[in-house]
Amino acid sequence: MAGGYLFLLLVIILNVSSSFQTSNTVNPCCYFPCQHKGICVRYDPDDYECDCTRTGYYGKNCTIPELWTRIREFVRPSPSFTYYMLTHYKWVWDIINNSFIRDTIVRLVLTVRATLIPSPPTYNSAYSYLSWEAYSNVSYFTRVLPSVPDNCPTPMGTKGKLQLPDATLLVETFLKREKFIPDPQNTNLMFAFFAQHFTHQFFKTYGRMGRGFTKGLGHGVDLSHVYGDNLERQYALRLFKDGKLKHQIINGDMYPPTVVEAPIHMVYPENIPKDKRFAMGQEVFGLLPGLMMYATIWLREHNRVCDVLRKEHPVWDDEQLFQTARLILIGETIKIVVEDYVQHLSGYYLKLKFDPELLFSSQFQYRNRIAVEFNQLYHWHPLMPDQFNILGQLYNYSSFIYNTSMLTDYGVEALVESFTNQIAGKIGGGKNLHPRLVEIAVGVIEESRKLRLQSFNQYRKQFGLKAYTSFQDFTGETEMSSQLESLYGDIDALEFYPGMLLEKTHQNAIFGESMIEIGAPFSLKGLMGNPICSPEYWKPSTFGGETGFNIVKTASIEKLVCLNIKKCPFVAFHVPKAEESSISEGTKTTDEL
Ligand SMILES: *[C@@H]1O[C@H](CO)[C@@H](O)[C@H](O)[C@H]1NC(C)=O
Ligand SMILES: *[C@@H]1O[C@H](CO)[C@@H](O)[C@H](O)[C@H]1NC(C)=O
Ligand SMILES: *[C@@H]1O[C@H](CO)[C@@H](O)[C@H](O)[C@H]1NC(C)=O
Ligand SMILES: *[C@@H]1O[C@H](CO)[C@@H](O)[C@H](O)[C@H]1NC(C)=O
Ligand SMILES: *[C@@H]1O[C@H](CO)[C@@H](O)[C@H](O)[C@H]1NC(C)=O
């Protein structure tokens, strides 16, 4: 009996002392002690271990390099050196572009980038450790880095102030535009709307501010923004004849159907009558004429490809024509994104190449999961201008947004021409976000806090970059950096999205090092990880034979547009240079393409 009491007493004392301890001990993982991608695992309240397996480092905090790591690190060119080489010495690249070395370098770029993305995916916003739930529940966006642990001394772990600066204050002070800053890489609105249209097939946050859920269960280039993200929506958009999609003809041209003909949910303000509401794969595409324009172009392309396929395969039924056309359009999209879109954005003199075979000899996982971090960093709203110039007529935001008649008033040709000629804003460097869009950036920052995203410097390290040591080092100037320092207190407490947008930009470039070095891996993994790039799929029969395969292999933004409009203006992701504007005068025939 007495022994029993003694035991009970002991248990109580032990319990009291341990709960006493937890409330006073800082979770050691709040210090982010494990370097070089080591995993912090907690044991007793103040005890942790770093799992350094296959990091190339060992020691308590994974800080001591193994011999091979030492050698590799010694010879590894820094990202800034590599970027410099790729954007200088044009004459060298002119030689490389046309030689077999091009393949070798493109392969290297793809593999180096893609290996930075964990695959299979690891964490999500609810699970900071590996778990079957995080792996299998595709309703979550994945996470490259787990959340900052709960109950850390500061929001960013142990660094910085007890409270993060007010998000609205941050955006108003550092991001809001005073005067439009044009992009030094000459990016145009044709690019800006392509970016928005393209990314909204996989950035589909579900119940904003939640725990990082997505409606985009395809997690990549699935063209759900053309075909709808579920079967019911797809069926409502399909004609069920010759594989085609429903459409309407206005002034002799093909446009998306209205919600009367294709009854699906679309987001429009009340005052727009039903017969003026276009029905498109993505429910938010009624927002901007630029999105409706791209929806129209892809709709026409789908139906055009169906005609090509039907000629080749008179025996195929509607379903096979539809499904094969979809795979071809997925292929075209990836080709255009790699060779036109990423090519433009990178500013590289290396001519990029979309050729899945380049990766067949390397270890590569044909799967992808969209990450919260990718979604965060892709908020490129500084691209948006002050006004939209359509054939010389200026439209402000109020007359542009949800303007469903603009597309049919002007037609696709006129919009392409106008968006190609209008320069977009510079994304990085701060102070270039139109006042109408300030709230979007505030939302991004607030979301990152709800999701407890780790600091900008933590992400820099994760992607093989050096952590910044001061705010001055980070912005490369003195004014913003001292303001940021007084707000954040510590460079290691700077948040992810402000870090991405306020970092000093590369010379004459649209944004800074981190956007490229962290954004490109997500992007390339998502593109090359598509099943159509796998050895099983990448063959003519997948695309209905050589004709379809060639449509994929020769796709370009120019062809996409020009094969679907009557005359062919200058089409590119940059405003025409002096020598190009002469081309823009003349018109090409479709035979030339
Ligand atoms: C490991 O990291 C922690 C937290 O940053 C630090 O206090 C400790 O001194 C480090 N230990 C070693 C052996 O480097
Ligand atoms: C090599 O490719 C880059 C990027 O596309 C381009 O700027 C350059 O003119 C190309 N050179 C040749 C000779 O094709
Ligand atoms: C994914 O997780 C959410 C939140 O726990 C849950 O509501 C949902 O049912 C899960 N989905 C599946 C397919 O298990
Ligand atoms: C936008 O333009 C319309 C039409 O020109 C005008 O009526 C409206 O006042 C303008 N709105 C703003 C906010 O400038
Ligand atoms: C929509 O654009 C047309 C030009 O296509 C313009 O005439 C009209 O005023 C705009 N609508 C609104 C509501 O601003």
Query: How would DSSP label each residue in 102-158?
Result: HHHHHHHHHHHHHTTS-SS--EESS-SS--HHHHH-TTB-EESSPPPPTT-SBTTBS
**Range with the lowest mean pLDDT among 152-166, 207-221, 307-321?**
207-221
The CB of 139 under 6 Å from ligand 3? The reply is yes
Please report how the helices 189-199 and 289-312 are oriented relative to each other, as an axis angle in degrees rounded to 10.
70
Cross-strand pairs, 214: 205
Does the beta carbon of 96 lie inside 6 Å of ligand 2? no
133 lines ligand 3 (CB under 6 A): no
Residue 289 preceded by cis peptide, ω within 30: no
Mean pLDDT of 564-588: 80
Please give the Cα distance from 108 to 115 (Å, whole number).
11
Q: Is the pLDDT of residue 122 over 50?
A: yes
How much distance in Å is there from the Cα of 10 to the middle of ligand 5?
Answer: 79
Q: Considering the candidates 57, 123, 127, 200, report the single residue annotated as catalytic.
A: 200
Segment holding 333, helix H or strand E: helix 318-336
Q: Which of 94, 348, 556 to mutate to test the pocket of ligand 2 (most atoms within 8 A of CB)?
A: 94
Helix or strand run (H / E) with residue 253: strand 253-255
pLDDT of res. 270: 96
Angle in degrees, 0-180, between the axes of helices 546-553 and 318-336, rounded to the nearest 10: 30
**Is residue 505 very low, low, confident or very high in pLDDT (cuts 50, 70, 90)?**
very high
| 459/189 Cα distance (integer angstroms) | 30
* Minimal-distance CA residue to ligand 4 atom 7: 399
Rounded distance, CA 593 to CA 579, Å? Answer: 20
Q: Is 381 a catalytic residue?
A: no
Q: Which residues contact 167 (CB under 8 A, 6 or more apart)?
A: 442, 445, 446, 449
CA of 410 to the centre of ligand 5 (A): 11
Q: What is the DSSP string of 181-245?
A: -B-TT-BBHHHHHHHHHHHTTT--EESTTSSSEES-TT-SS--HHHH-SSHHHHHHHB--STTPB
Ligand nearest to the CA of 133: 3
**Apex CA 184: angle with CA 178 and CA 185, to 5°?**
135
| Residue-wise pLDDT tens digits, 464-486 | 999 999 999 999 999 999 999 99
Confidence of residue 12 (pLDDT cuts 50, 70, 90): very low
The answer for residues whose C-beta is within 8 angstroms of residue 303's C-beta and 6 or more apart is: 244, 245, 247, 254
Quick one: pLDDT band at residue 587, thresholds 50, 70, 90?
Answer: low
Share above pLDDT 90 across residues of the chain, in percent, rounded to a whole number: 90
Ramachandran area for residue 356 (φ above 0: left; ψ -120 to 50: alpha; else beta): alpha
Mean pLDDT of 536-544: 98
Band of pLDDT at residue 494, cut at 50, 70 and 90: very high
pLDDT at 590: 52
Tell me: the pLDDT tens digits for 173-185? 999 999 999 999 9
What average pLDDT score do residues 558-564 get? Answer: 98
Q: What angle do CA 487, 492, 498 make, to 5 degrees?
A: 60
Higher-confidence residue of 206 and 418: namely: 418
Q: Atom 5 of ligand 1 has which residue's CA nearest to it?
A: 33
Minimal CA–CA distance to 381: which of 168, 164, 140, 171? 171
Average of per-residue pLDDT values in the chain: 93
Report whether pLDDT(319) > 80.
yes
Q: Confirm if 543 and 551 have CB atoms less than 8 A apart.
A: yes
Place of tokens 């439209």: 395
pLDDT above 60 for 23: no
Q: In the predicted model, what is the mean pLDDT of residues 13-41?
A: 76
Ligand 2: distance of its center to the CA of 339 in Å? 12
For residue 537, what are the CA distances in angstroms to 512, 543, 544?
Answer: 36, 9, 12
Element (H, E) at 64: strand 64-65
pLDDT band at residue 170 under the 50/70/90 scheme: very high
Record the tokens describing residue 198, joined without a space.
């393209």
How many CA atoms lie within 13 Å of 542's alpha carbon, on the beta-carbon side? 20
Note the pLDDT of residue 335.
98
pLDDT value of residue 578: 83
* Residues 435 and 161: beta-carbon distance below 8 Å: no
In three-state secondary structure terms, 276 is: helix
162-185 burial by CB neighbour count: b if 16+ within 10 A, else e?
Answer: eebbebeebbebbbbbeebbebbb
What pLDDT score was predicted for residue 1?
Answer: 39
pLDDT average, residue stretch 276-285? 97
Bridge partners for 57 per DSSP: 65
Torsion of CA 577, 582, 586, 591, to 10 degrees: -60
Q: Which of 395, 396, 401, 406 to mutate to test the pocket of ligand 4 (most atoms within 8 A of CB)?
A: 396
Q: Give catalytic status of residue 200 as yes or no.
A: yes
Q: What is the mean pLDDT of residues 12-26?
A: 52
| Overall average pLDDT of the 41-59 stretch | 96
**Phi, psi values for residue 64, rounded to 5°:** -95, 120
Counting ligands in written order, the one closest to the CA of 214 is 3
- Contact by Cβ (8 Å): 111, 364: yes
Q: What is the mean pLDDT of residues 543-556?
A: 98
- Model confidence band, residue 189 (pLDDT cutoffs 50, 70, 90): very high
Confidence class for position 383, pLDDT limits 50, 70, 90: very high
Residue located nearest, by CA, to atom 14 of ligand 3: 137
Mean pLDDT of 576-588: 66
Q: What are phi and psi of 354, to 5 degrees?
A: -95, 100
Mean pLDDT within 96-123: 96
Phi and psi torsions of 372, nearest 5°: -55, -40
- pLDDT of 369 > 90? The answer is yes
**Catalytic residue from among 83, 366, 378, 402:** 378
Q: Which residue, judged by its Cα, is nearest atom 9 of ligand 4? A: 398
Total Cβ atoms within 10 A of residue 449:
14
